[in-house]
Chain A
Amino acid sequence: MTTKVTTIEQTTKQVSPLKGADYRAKWISYLFCLPAVTLMFVILLVPIFIAGILSFTDYSLGNPDIAWLGAKNYEVIFGRSSYQKMIWATVTYVLVVVPISIGLGLGAALLINSLNRFGDLYKAIYFLPVMAALLAMALVWDLALHPTVGIVNQTLRTGCGTWVEGLLAFGWLPWVDGAQSWYSTSCADEFPLWIGDRDYAMATICFIGIWQAFGFNMVLYLAGLTGVPRELYHAAAIDGVTNSWDRFRLVTWPMLGPTTVFVVTITSINSFKVFDTVEALTWGGPAKSTYVMMYAIFEKAVKENQVGFGSAITVVFLLFVLIITFTQRFLVEKRVHYS
Chain B
Amino acid sequence: MIGNFSTSQTLKHAALIIGALIVILPFYAMVSYSFKSPHEIETNTGGFFGAQEPMVDEWCVKANNPSGAIASEELIKSCTTTPVVFNYKSAFSKAPLLRYLFNGVFVTVSIFLIQVLIALPCAYALAKLKFWGRDVVFMLVLFCLLIPVHAIALPLYIMLSKVGLINSYAALIIPWTISVFGIFLMRQFFMTIPDDLIDAARIDGMSEFSIVWKVMLPCAVPALMAFAIFSVVAHWNDYFWPRIAITSDRNYFTPPLGLRMFKGDSDGDVYGPMMATATIIVTPLIVAFLLAQRKFIEGITLSGMK
What are the interface flags for A131-170 relative to B under an 8 Å C-beta threshold, 1 for contact and 0 otherwise? 1111111011111100001010010000000000000000
Residues from chain B with a CB closer than 8 A to the CB of A200 are none
Q: Is A251's CB within 8 Å of the partner chain B?
A: no
Q: Chain B contacts of A15 at CB under 8 A?
A: 203
Which residue of A is nearest B151, CB measured?
A318
Partner of A47 from the list B33, B155, B199 (CB cut-off 8 Å) is B155
Known: A135-B239, A144-B26. A122 touches B20 (CB 8 A): yes
Complex Cα spacing A43 to B278, Å: 32
Q: How far is the CA of A51 from the CA of B150 in the complex (A)?
A: 12
For B118-150 the 0/1 string (1 means CB < 8 A from A) is: 110110111001110110010011001011101
A-side interface mostly: helix
Q: Which of B74-82, B92-100, B256-264 touches A?
A: B256-264
Is the Cβ of A135 less than 8 Å from the Cβ of B256?
A: yes
Partner of A39 from B137, B156, B177 at Cβ < 8 Å: B177
- List, in ascending order, chain B residues with CB within 8 A of A35's CB: 118, 121-122
- Return chain B residues, CB-CB under 8 Å to A122: 16, 19-20
Q: A interface vs B, CB < 8 Å?
A: 5, 8, 11-12, 15, 17-18, 21, 24-26, 28-33, 35-37, 39-40, 43-48, 50-51, 54, 61, 104, 108, 111-112, 114-116, 118, 120, 122-137, 139-144, 149, 151, 154, 211, 215-216, 219-220, 223, 262, 266, 269, 272-273, 275-276, 279-280, 294, 297-298, 301-302, 307, 310-311, 314, 317-318, 321-322, 325
Interface-facing stretch out of B54-62, B219-227, B279-287: B279-287
- 17 A-B pairs within 8 Å (CB atoms) are namely A17-B202, A28-B209, A29-B130, A40-B140, A40-B178, A45-B144, A111-B12, A122-B19, A126-B20, A127-B297, A131-B286, A131-B289, A134-B237, A220-B301, A307-B154, A307-B158, A322-B146
> Bound complex: CA of A134 vs CA of B281, how far in Å?
11
Decide yes or no whether B236 CB sits under 8 A from chain A.
yes
* Contact (A111, B15) CB under 8 Å given A130-B300, A139-B259, A317-B151: yes
Given A115-B12, A127-B289, A144-B25, residue A311 in contact with residue B154 (CB < 8 A)? yes
